Structures are given as C-alpha cells and as structure tokens.
Amino acid sequence: MAIENPLRALHRALPLYRFPASKRTSANPAEAANSPVLFIFPRSKHAVTSTDVECVKYQAFLTFSNYAHITRDCHEPEMSPSGRLPFLALPDGRILTGSGIVEEVTATAGDLESRLTAEEKSKSRAFVSLAEAKLEVALLFTMWFDVRIRDTVTYPLFEALYPWPLNKVLTWTAKSEKTEWMLSRKTVLQKDEILGEAKQALAALSTSLGEQQFFGGSKATFLDATIFAYLHIILSLLALPSVEVELRQAVLRHTNLVQYAQKIFNTFFTTTTTTTTTTTTVA
C-alpha cells in the first residue's frame, strides 16, 4: 500500500490559500516578465544565492551558461511539477525541473561541455555522482543532526517561512523527509563514517582541481556548478561564531577548494538581483 506524502496530507487538512492579485496577472509566472524565471528556495537577507544546494547548483549553471533569466524566491515546493525546488518557468507556459532545465539551457545558450572529450565527460559525471553521494549526505546530516547547526541555522531557516504552528509541523516534516532520504542510502547514520567519506571526497576533488581555474580547465561546466554549490553552502551556511563545524573545517583544509569557491562567487554572483517571494497564508 502506497504511503501518501505527509506534506500533501497536511495541505489537504490545512489548505493554503494565496490572496488574489489586485490586478489581473498571467497564469504562467514567467509570462508577465516575458523572461524565464528560476524559482529557488529563499535566500538569506541581502544574499544573492539560495540557502539550498540544489538551487545554488542551478543558479550557477544558468549563470555559467549566460542564460538570460530572472531569479525569484519561493518557499512552496508544491508549485513545482516534481514537488521540489528549483523549477524554471518559461514564457511559453512550460515548467521545467532537473534535466529539463539542463536541456532547455543547453538548447538555448549552448553546451558547456561541448569542448570536453568523452573521457573528460565521463570523469565529470563521476565527480558529480561523488559529490551528490558523499557531500550531500554529510551536509544533510550536519544540517539536521548537529544540534548547534540544527538549532541556530536549520530550524530558524525553515520556521521563518510559515506562521506558527504550521512552521513547526512543516519543519518536522522536512526533517523526516531528509532522514528518510539519507536512510535510503545508508542503513545506519553514523557520524564518523559519513564525515569520513565526505573528507575522502573532498580530498579527491582537491587533487583533481589542482591549480586549475575550473575542473574542466579554463571554462566552467555543470560539474563546477555542482561542486561550487556544495562548497559555497558549507562555507557560508555552516559558519558560526566561535564554533568549529567538522564538515566546514574539512573544506577549509583544502586551500585550493576554498579559493575556487570564493573566486566563482566573486566572479559570477556579485550583482544583486530583484526578488519576488511567493507568500501563503493559512485559511
């Protein structure tokens, strides 16, 4: 028997309504601006990048590709066809997620990996898989099970999106979903094992990068978007005064990775963009 998504069940029990606009607007969120709109998990105040790794990855990928678009904050994943952020809304009415975004950007702005050899493409995919397998678990574990990070970063980040008591329920739901995802990849969540594997992954990435500007040489690729997203979130979101977070310290030990992340941010994310946050209220 299939188990219903608890978030959908909660939405049915406590429906969320959006107030109608004061003037007629297009049903498609991208049409009004006549530009593609990338909807991402909300950014911190005055920040340019999202506080979610997957969203930062696609922000970077679209930016590396010089793909003209607008970025907007959104705290309602159910707006996406996949139920996850980010998603890209196009003026022609299409709503894209995941590989659909990559295909659209590649078809419109060109393939960032066109100059790579078959061997380099294979190596790139292997490193993307490594990051998504090892760094993702380590980051989620730190965000949700390191009490210092959980109480000062993760919980406030999620609870600020909704009014009480809904914020408490949805934060608990998010933790349950993240835990379930981690357990689908590991039978037991052991801190030393998880962080040990992340450290090995970081060492491999540091060695592969060496003194290059990007992992593929002189130009950024989807691999760079992926690695930058993890490094940036780990270095920025896990930075707490007078507290050493083990995962962040593991990154700081690799000077070339730190400089790599800083250079990408300074080169591609120094321009602040106007944002519009989707708001919801409880009936």
Q: pLDDT tens per residue, the chain (283 residues)?
A: 444 455 555 556 666 555 444 343 444 555 455 899 999 999 887 789 999 999 999 999 999 999 999 999 998 888 899 989 999 999 999 999 999 999 999 999 999 999 899 999 999 999 999 999 999 999 999 999 999 999 999 999 999 888 899 889 999 999 999 999 999 999 999 999 999 999 999 999 999 999 999 998 889 999 999 999 999 999 999 998 888 999 999 999 999 999 999 999 999 998 644 444 433 322 2
CA distances from 60 to 50, 218, 230 (A): 11, 16, 11
pLDDT value of residue 87: 96
Residues 199, 204, 209, 210: what is their CA dihedral angle, to the nearest 10 degrees? Answer: 90
187-206 core/surface letters (b: 16 or more CB in 10 A; e: else)? eebeeeebbebbbebbeebb
pLDDT value of residue 271: 62
On whether the CB atoms of residues 201 and 25 are closer than 8 A, the answer is no
Q: What residue type is 71 in one-letter code?
A: T
Domain ranges of the chain: 16-112+271-282, 118-268
The CATH code that applies to domain 16-112+271-282 is: 3.40.30.10
pLDDT value of residue 76: 85
Directed axis angle between helix 222-237 and helix 255-268, to 10°? 100
Lookup: tokens for 72: 């907007």
Q: Checking DSSP bridges between strand 87-89 and strand 16-17, what pairing results, if any?
A: unpaired
pTM comes to: 0.84
Pick the CATH number of 118-268 from 1.10.510.10, 1.20.1050.10, 3.40.980.10, 2.60.20.30: 1.20.1050.10
118-268 has the same fold as 16-112+271-282: no
Residue 16, Cβ density class (10 Å: 0-12 exposed, 13-18 middle, ≥19 buried)? middle
On whether the CB atoms of residues 105 and 97 are closer than 8 A, the answer is no
pLDDT value of residue 120: 92
